[in-house]
Structure formats: C-alpha cells, structure tokens
Structure 1
Amino acid sequence: MMGKKHNTGTLRLRPDYEALNLPSAQIHFNGFSKTVGRSDGAFRSVFRGRSMELEDLREYVAGDNLRDIDWKSSSRTGEILVRNYVADKKRRFMFVVDTGKNMLGAMPDGHSKTAAGIITAASAAYMCTRAGAEYQILGSMEAGRQERYSCGPGFLEASLRRLEGCYSMSVKLAGRKKALLSDEFNMQLRRITSTPMRSVSLFLITDLYGVLTLDDRLIRSICSVRDLYVLLMEDADWGSSHIYNAQTGVAVSEYLSYSSRMANEISDKKAALLTKAMRNLRACGASYDIVRSTQDITESIIKVLNRGVG
C-alpha cells in the first residue's frame, strides 16, 4: 500500500452527477428477491422494481425511463414530468466505505484510493437513488454510527462530508509512530450486521487489504440473507519515485522503489493475494469487481449491481 503524499487539508471530491444519469438507467438490481419479499411489504409488478401506486411527479432528467413520463401532466404544465412510484423506495443500500490508513495508497492510474473511494461512494449512491433506492453511507471509522435511510442532494452531500472527515483523520494518524493498520473495516461490518437490517443490501468499498481482513464466516452469513456488493480499489504497482508506506507514512528510498527484483516479488505477492480474495468473495456469493482506474468506477458500479462478477 503505497502512494504519494497527500494534502492534509479539507477534501472535496465529487463525480459529474449529470454524466451519471444515462448510466443509471442500465441498473437492473438483479438479485432483488433475496432482499425484498412479501414480508417486507414489497410485491411484483410489470415495472422493474416499481409498484403501480403513484407517489408524486418530478421533472424529467436524461436517462429516465420513457414509460414513466406522465404525458397528460406534461402537456398541462409545459414541462416533461415523470412518475415516482411508492415501491421505488423499497430498496435500501448501506454503503460501508473503508477509511483506514490502507486507503491512503495509490492506484495504478496514479489517483489515490481515498479519492477513488469518495467518488465511488458518491457515484453509487447517486445512481442507486436514480434507480429508485434509499441509502446511507458509513465510513469504517464511524464506530456505532448509523443514519436514517434517505436520498437527495443535501443528504448525499452531508454523508460525503462525514466520509471526508474520516479520511482526513486517517491522514493525520498515518504519520504517527504507532500508526499500524487496524481491523476497523471488519469491526464496523460486524457492528452493522449485529443489528437487524430488514431489506438492506450491503455495498462495500475497500481495497485488497480490506477484503483480506473480512471474516469469511461473516461474509457467508451476510450473503445468505441479503445481497452483498464489493468494489475493490487496486493498489499501484511498485516502481516509481516519491512513494511512501501508507501504514507508517515513511518514505521509501528510490534505491528500493526502483528495484526490479523487489517489484517482481511484490507483483507476484499481490497477484496471489488478489486471486485469494476474489476466490473467497466468489465462494460466498458476493458480487464484486476491481477498480483499476477512476475512469472505470461507473462501469464497475453497474456491473456489480447487475450481479456481474469480476
């Protein structure tokens, strides 16, 4: 886990929300029957994830299903309006974002895993809302904290601000002598699953270390009763200047960082660990993908939500 030094000032990273409208229409929420049933008050209809009970109307946004346009209301008001259905809010997601020191490292495209994690959480939450779901976002350092399930620009921005605060704390802790990698991500997941979460799907955003720290029995237990989605931010390859150990905050000398022997050993080790992590997720029944570049985030979100496997 390595990367370039980060600015410890306030973070503010956001995706282009407007560009996510069209991709959001590709989400089908495959595996919906595992988390929503008649006991949850849901029911099937000819519309994907919708009941026939109209809740309200809203202005059309590029990417909306044309079948949802209310033509009578649109002609009366002069604006294109689409229908919202009550069942749109039956699907709930809990986004659990790894905000540990391991996420301070870099990705193969040079971006930090911190930036990728924030953009992924923002993009996934926005796209799930567009597909008719509510959510909450929790960082791994927010011990015992749970928010209401909601949606909307204000709610999303407040959630992302808290997430950025968790990452800022990790940056400050990274330079301390006793700054060791912790099991915060796994402990947070245990706290979350120890409380009833009816009809809630879990969406984990982490890296290779985070996946390897997950308890296999816990993951199997989660997958047996609800959908589990995992996006893994890949670590950068060895072999560049100005890198440091994300665990301790100590710079790596260029003598070592440019060592071809060291690079080969680390590459082989990373490949072996990645294979192990993916095998475990596949065996448990989780839907997952590996994000190698920030440009791949949108495609990876759609893939895992549609139950594709990386």
Structure 2
Amino acid sequence: MSTAGTTTLLTRVKSRLFVSARRRARTILEGEYASVFHGRSLDYVDLRAYVPGDEVRDIDWKATARHSAPLVKRYVATRKQHLLLVADTGRGMAATTRSGERKKDVAIAAAGLVGYLAQRHGDLVGLVRGTAVATTAHRLRGTEAHLELLLRAIDAATVLDGEPSDLAAQLRWIVANVRRRTVLLVVADDLDLGPELDDLLRRLLVQHEILWCTVADADPTAIEGRRTAYDVGDLRTLPTVVRLDPRVREAYAAALTRRVEHTAAVLRRRGVNHARVGSTDDVVPAVFALLERQRRAR
C-alpha cells in the first residue's frame, strides 16, 4: 500500500487524539498507559521458596499446592516493555461493523492507538497476525515508522476473498514461541469463546498480560430496504425476505446477546479486561476505559 499523497494509517490514529474536542485525551491516555504498564517490564525466571516480605501477588498458587509449601515467581527487571498486537486478519474482519465502516479499519484504530502509546513510552511493539491457514509474526521495534508498517500489514492482509479466521491459531503460536513476559493486545472478530480459546487464555496468562478488544459485527437484520447482505464467513447471501422477518430479527438479537454475555463471562472469569467497539469513534473512550479497568485491577 503506497502512502504517497495520502494520509498514513498512524496519522489517522493520532489525529483522533489531537482534535480540539479531545485535546486532553492524549494526556489522559498516556497517563493511563504509564500507570498500568510502565516500569513493569519483568521477565519470569523461575520459582523459589517464599520468604517473609515477598509480595503475596507473586505467589504461584498452583505450584504451591503441588509442593505443599509457598513458592513465589522470580522475575528479572528489563528496560523495555514488550507489546504484541494480536490481530485476526481473516476475511471476517474485512466485513462491515455497525457503523458501516470496515471492521479492519476499527481494528487498526484500536491497535494503532495502543501501539502509539507504547511507542511514546519507549516500549517495543510487534505484531502477530493471521488466519486459519497461516500465522505471521512481525518483529518488535520502537519507532513510529515500524508501527506504521505493522498497521499496513493488518490492512493489506485483511481482504474479503482471504482465508477464514481462526484466532486460536495465532494464540497457539504465541504459547509456543513467546517466552518473555509480554503485554498482548488481542483485536478479535465478534466470536464466541469456546473451550479451546478459554484454555489458551489460561495458558497465556501464566506468563503474559492480556487486553482484549472485540470489533462488533454489523447487524444484518437491521439493514433496511432491499440491499443485499451476505455472510463473509461462508460467503453466502442472506435473502432479504428472511433477514427482515421479525422472527429472524428477534432470534438474531437473542443469539447476539447470548454470545456477547458468554464472551464477557469467559474473559471476566480469566481476569482479562475487555472492550467492545463498533466504530472508530468508539476507540478512544473504549481504550481509556480498558486501561482504567486494568489499573484498578492491580
């Protein structure tokens, strides 16, 4: 994607922080990011016996139960925090969200904002993206130019004729390959968190810190008139007469409510703070609220 004569993706992200109506947003968000993550760059090393004065939060309760004596996790301080953007780039993210925008544009806004906050604080930002077929990892660096390249990679990879999504594949890659303690910002399609994803979250949380952002689906039953709608997941057209049927609308609304509540319940049980966004306008307030909840949870 050429940016000659056009606005770069990162510039679009930053512009949402600098408009006069939200001039304080940058300061507030940077303060939230710093209070949550800055100065907590620690690598897990091993376990050792608990001694009086150790932080209770560092006790590994599972290991303690196995050994019948308190054990704490030992960390080594490092200079820079690592932030890994985890992006679903399957064809579902090329569909539209409720605002009429492409879901990938909302995903880029969310990933770009958190990535920008990290880069401003001297932290390193990388990307793991992929589909059900392939996972691609991009190295960690600390420059705006690198963050722009990461956002372009998400944009270029997410197309309507692309492969289907499988976020579990990207999370499995992280479990297998990322050893250093890392902050993961997962930007996900509007999906139901089944047992496999739940188990992957459990495994990742042993080592990493996770923030989760869901990009909400458009409601096909709310599209008025005779406009054609189709499911990008299976590429099937949704007949207008069916999707506008009041009974179908009611059933869809009930199914959506169940899915949203189930996703929230799984993430809450795992202690993962979560935001749900349906437009680029939602991103700044949603990220602020997400970071604030993360700070309060400590």
TM-score (norm 2): 0.72
* 1:225, distance to aligned residue in structure 2 (A): 2.6
Matching residue of 1:231: 213
Alpha-carbon deviation of 1:35?
6.0
Q: Is the 8 A contact 1:113 1:233 kept in 2?
A: yes
The one of 134, 149, 172 aligned to 2:140: 149
Q: Structure 1 32/154 Cα, relative in aligned 2: closer, same or farther at 3 Å?
A: closer
Residues 271-310 of structure 1: pairs in structure 2 closer than 5 A: 271-308=257-294
Call closer, same or farther: CA 1:39–1:246 in 2, change over 3 Å.
closer
Pick closer, same or farther for the CA change 1:18–1:182 going to 2, 3 Å. closer
Distance 1:18 1:114 in 2: 18
1:109/1:284 Cα in 2 relative to 1: closer, same or farther (>3 Å)?
same
Deviation at 1:229, TM superposition (A): 0.4
Q: Deviations over 1:48-101 (max 9, x none)?
A: xxxxxxxxxxxxxxxxxxxxxxxxxxxxxxxxxxxxxxx995111100011112
Q: Find the residue that maps to 2:186 and give its secondary structure.
A: strand
Equivalent residue for 2:228? 242
Other-structure match for 1:27: 32
* % identical aligned pairs: 20
**Which position in structure 1 is the counterpart of 2:127?**
137
Q: Which moved more, 1:93-102 or 1:216-225?
A: 216-225
Structure 1 pair 242/134, CA: closer, same or farther in 2 (3 Å)? same
Paired positions, count = 244
Q: Distance in 2 between matches of 1:302 and 1:115?
A: 19
> Structure 1 229/242 Cα, relative in aligned 2: closer, same or farther at 3 Å?
same
Q: Out of 123, 140, 153, which is 2:113 matched to? A: 123
State the shift of 1:161 in Å.
2.0
Distance 1:93 1:16, change over 3 A: closer
Cα displacement string for residues 10-42 of structure 1 (whole angstroms, at most 9, x for unaligned residues): x975524144343432324555499633868xx
Shift of residue 283, structure 1, vs aligned partner: 0.5
Bigger relative CO (Cα 8 Å, ≥ 6 apart): 1
Distance 1:162 1:192 in 2: 18
CA change 1:36–1:251 in 2 (3 A) is: same
TM-score, length basis structure 1: 0.69
Moved more, 190-199 or 94-103: 190-199
Q: CA deviation at 1:144?
A: 5.0
Post-superposition Cα deviations, 1:108-139, rounded to whole Å, max 9, x if no partner, equal: 22222122112222222112222442111222
* Aligned counterpart, 2:103: 113
Higher strand share: 2
For the residue of structure 1 that corresponds to 2:236, the secondary structure is coil
Structure 1 residue ranges without an equivalent (≥5): 1-10, 41-86, 174-178
Q: Aligned with 1:251: secondary structure?
A: strand
Q: Which residue of 1 aligns with 2:42?
A: 37
Q: What are the equivalent positions in structure 2 for 1:83-102 lying under 5 Å apart? A: 90-102=80-92
Q: Is the 8 A contact 1:202 1:229 kept in 2?
A: yes
Within the alignment, does 1:172 sit opposite 2:161 as a pair?
yes
**Secondary structure, aligned partner of 1:202:** strand
Whether the 8 Å contact between 1:99 and 1:167 is mirrored in structure 2 is: yes
Paired residue secondary structure (1:126): helix
Task: Report how far residue 214 of structure 1 moved.
Answer: 5.2
Give the Cα–Cα distance (whole angstroms) in 1 for the partners of residues 285 and 135 of structure 2: 32
CA pair 118-28 structure 1, distance change in 2 beyond 3 A: closer
**C-alpha separation between the residues in 2 aligned to 1:231 and 1:109?**
17
